Amino acid sequence: MIIRRGAEAEIHLTTWLGRRAIAKHRVPKKYRLPILDNALRAARTKKEAKLISDARRLGVSTPIIYDIDLKEHKIIMEYIDGPRLKDILTQVQTQVQVQIDENVQKSLLRKLGSAIGILHKNNIVHGDLTTSNVLKRDEDLYFIDFSLGDISDDIEAKGVDIHLLMEAFESTHPELLDEFKYVLEGYSNEFKAASEVIKKVDEIVNRGRYMRA
Ligand SMILES: Nc1ncnc2c1ncn2[C@@H]1O[C@H](COP(=O)(O)OP(=O)(O)O)[C@@H](O)[C@H]1O
Ligand SMILES: [Mg+2]
| CATH for 52 | 3.30.200.20
Distance (Å) of CA 20 to CA 34, 64, 72:
32, 12, 20
Give the ligand whose atoms come closest to the C-alpha of residue 4.
1
**Which of 27, 145, 147 maximizes ligand 1 atoms within 8 Å of its Cβ, making it the mutation to test the pocket?**
145
pLDDT value of residue 20: 97
CA of 141 to the centre of ligand 2 (A): 15
pLDDT value of residue 6: 84
What's the DSSP call for residue 82? S
Determine the Cα–Cα distance for residues 3 and 24; give it in Å rounded to an integer.
Answer: 10
Distance (Å) of CA 68 to CA 15, 22, 37, 73:
14, 12, 18, 8
The contacts found for 57-60 with CB under 8 angstroms, 24 or more apart, are: 58/118, 58/119, 58/122, 58/124, 59/118, 60/115, 60/118, 60/119, 60/143
Cβ–Cβ under 8 Å, residues 131 and 86: yes
pLDDT value of residue 94: 58
Q: Give pLDDT < 50 ranges for the chain.
A: 97-98
Cβ–Cβ under 8 Å, residues 1 and 11: no
Residue nearest to atom 19 of ligand 1 (CA): 145
Q: Residue 48 sits in which domain range?
A: 2-78
Same domain assignment for residues 129 and 37: no
Residue after which a domain boundary falls, among 62, 78, 94: 78
* CA of 82, closest atom in ligand 1: 4
Same domain assignment for residues 70 and 22: yes
Give the CATH number for residue 183: 1.10.510.10
At a CB cut-off of 8 Å and minimum separation 6, what does 197 contact?
120, 155, 158, 159, 162, 187, 191
Same domain assignment for residues 105 and 68: no
133 lines ligand 1 (CB under 6 A): yes
pLDDT value of residue 39: 94
Cβ–Cβ under 8 Å, residues 166 and 201: yes
Determine the Cα–Cα distance for residues 6 and 18; give it in Å rounded to an integer.
Answer: 26
Measured from the Cβ of residue 205, the count of other Cβ atoms closer than 10 Å reads: 14
* CA of 48, closest atom in ligand 1: 17
Q: How many domains does the chain have?
A: 2
* CA of 147, closest atom in ligand 1: 21
Residue after which a domain boundary falls, among 38, 57, 78: 78
Cβ–Cβ under 8 Å, residues 172 and 166: no
**Which of 2, 5, 24 maximizes ligand 1 atoms within 8 Å of its Cβ, making it the mutation to test the pocket?**
24
pLDDT value of residue 108: 92
pLDDT value of residue 8: 86
Q: What angle do CA 158, 200, 52 make, to 5 degrees?
A: 10
Same domain assignment for residues 204 and 146: yes
Cβ–Cβ under 8 Å, residues 123 and 192: no
